[in-house]
Structure 1
Amino acid sequence: MTGTTKRLGDRLLGGAMIAMLVLVLAFLVTPLLVTCLLAFDARSFLGPLPPPALSMRWFEKLVSLDYVTTGLATSLKIAVLTTAVDVLVGTAAAVALDRSNFHGRSLLMAAFLSPLIVPAVVIGFALLLFLSRIGIVDGFTRLLCGHIVITLPYVVRTVLASLTGRDRRLTEAALVLGATERQAFWNITLPLIRSGMITGAVFAFAVSLDDVAVSMFLTDPSTYTLPVALVSNMRASFDLTIAAAAVLLMAISAVLIIVLERFVGFDRLLGQGLFRS
Structure 2
Amino acid sequence: MSTHSRTARSGDRAASALAYGVVGLGLAFLAIPLAITCLMALDARTFLGPLPPPALSLHWFERLASRADILSSLRTSLVLAVLTTILSVSIGTAAAVGLARGDFPGKATLTSAFLSPLIVPPVVIGFGLLLFLSKAGITNGMARLLLGHVIVTVPYCIRTSLASLLGADKRLTEAAMILGATERQAFWSITIPLMKTGIITGAIFAFAISMDDVSISLFLSDPSATTLPVTLVSNMRAAFDLTIAAAAVILMAVTVLLIVVLDRLVGFDNVVGQGLFRS
Q: TM-score, normalised by structure 1?
A: 0.96
Quick one: which of 130, 154, 160 aligns to 1:152?
Answer: 154
Match of 1:168 in 2: 170
* 1:98 match: 100
Kept in 1, the 8 Å contact 2:156–2:206? The answer is yes
Q: Which one of 142, 145, 153 corresponds to residue 144 of structure 2? A: 142
8 Å Cα contact 1:131/1:137 also seen in 2: yes
Cα deviation, 1:86-128, whole Å, max 9, x if unaligned, reads 1111100110011112111111111111111111111111111
Does the residue aligned with 1:259 lie in a helix, a strand or coil?
A: helix
Shift of 1:232: 1.1
Match of 1:113 in 2: 115
Shift, 1:75, TM fit: 0.3
Name the residue aligned to 1:201. 203
Q: Does the aligned pair in 1 maintain the 2:157–2:199 contact within 8 Å?
A: yes
**Does the Cα contact within 8 Å between 2:177 and 2:183 map onto a contact in 1?**
yes
1:267·1:273 contact (CA, 8 Å) conserved in 2?
A: no
Cα distance in 2 for residues equivalent to 1:8 and 1:121: 48
- Equivalent residue for 1:4? 6
1:245 corresponds to which residue? 247
Shift of 1:200: 0.2
Consecutive unaligned residues of structure 1, counting only runs of 5 or more, are: none
Question: Following TM superposition, by how much is the alpha carbon of 1:274 offset from its aligned partner in structure 2, in angstroms?
Answer: 4.0
Percent identity among equivalent residues?
63
Aligned pair partner of 2:83 in 63, 81, 84: 81
Q: TM-score under structure 2 normalisation?
A: 0.95
SS at match of 1:53: coil
Alignment root-mean-square deviation, CA: 1.4
1:242-265 deviation line (CA, Å, top 9, x unaligned): 111110000000110011000000
Residue 224, structure 1, aligned to residue 226, structure 2 = yes
The unaligned stretches of length 5 or more in structure 2 are: none
Q: Tell me, in whole angstroms, the C-alpha distance in 2 between the residues paired with 1:274 and 1:136.
A: 40
CA contact (8 A) 2:163 2:276 kept: no
What is the total number of aligned residue pairs between the two structures?
A: 276
Deviation track 1:201-220 (CA, whole Å, cap 9, x = no partner) reads 00000000011111111111
